[in-house]
Homo-oligomer: A and B are copies of this chain.
Amino acid sequence: MFAEQFANVRTKSPLIHNITNYVTVNDCANMVLACGASPIMADDAAEVEDITTICGGLNINIGTLNSRTIESMLKAGRKANALGHPVVLDPVGAGASALRTGTAYRLLDEVRFTVIRGNISEVKTLASGAGTTKGVDADVADRVTEENLDGAVAFAKAFAAKTGAVVAITGAIDIVADGAKAYCIRNGHPMMSAITGTGCQLSALTAAFITANPGQPLEAAAAAVCAMGLAGEIAHARLTPLDGNATYRNYIIDAIYHMTPAQLEEGAKYEVR
């Protein structure tokens, strides 16, 4: 069913304001272009309201937050709320430092998010104020598996209901949920975790999808998650024996560039719980 959501991205080509980290920002910009949308990166407090105003959606990623950009995130988020623009939060490393955790809480308090996308550890930190983070990956002990999937789905729905946001928890199995309904997605490839920033890229992609599909944040976010995972599969199938994580990074963006709505429709592997 995700052909329509993707087709809307290609047709409408929304302009997305990204306040994101300097580690993966180039890949995020190329990913947004690959899906047919347009990116603009701007993080100074003196201009974020102007930039958000001319955009259709906002993506906030705290991966390399600092005292200057935290204020920019808050200002941009409030402005986007005032304008009715969709907003994505990527709480990179929440739980890894008091600054990250505290900033994520402050963002949740002061900004209404349309989608919150993180790994299970980050989302647990947001939800509970507890948790540990190993870099920006989920703790092994907290990995979503077939065995604990029902519990994780219930958790995602509960956090979605509490925040009013669609919650996307990504990992080996992805969960995209609102308070009532969850998509469990089995696209992707384990090698994606050997690339820096596939999560960041997905958050930027999600911002494009939800902006092009107003009123359908759950389906649009699930479509973006499926598209990213499917791109990981397509890109992996291209790898020759000497290709490693750097080439794989390029091929994933390439796969989004060439992906058609019909290809996404056919390749998306999900169930509703």
Contact = CB atoms under 8 A, between A and B. Distances in A.
8 contacts: A22-B22, A27-B246, A29-B196, A30-B249, A54-B133, A244-B255, A244-B258, A246-B250
Interface of A: 15, 21-27, 29-30, 33-34, 38-44, 46-47, 50-51, 54, 63-68, 93, 96-100, 132-137, 194-197, 234, 238, 241-247, 249-258
A196 B50 contact: no
Contacts of A253: 244-246
Contacts of A194: 33-34, 257
Given A242-B238, A251-B242, A24 B26 contact: yes
A99 B34 contact: no
A196 B26 contact: yes
Residue of A196, A243, A254 contacting most chain B CB atoms (<10 Å) = A196
A195 B30 contact: yes
A246 B67 contact: no
Given A51-B97, A54-B96, A100-B47, A66 B63 contact: no
Contacts of A39: 135, 196
Contacts of A24: 26, 29
A257 B246 contact: yes
Contact of A25 (B23, B100, B132, B250): B23
A272 B239 CA distance: 39
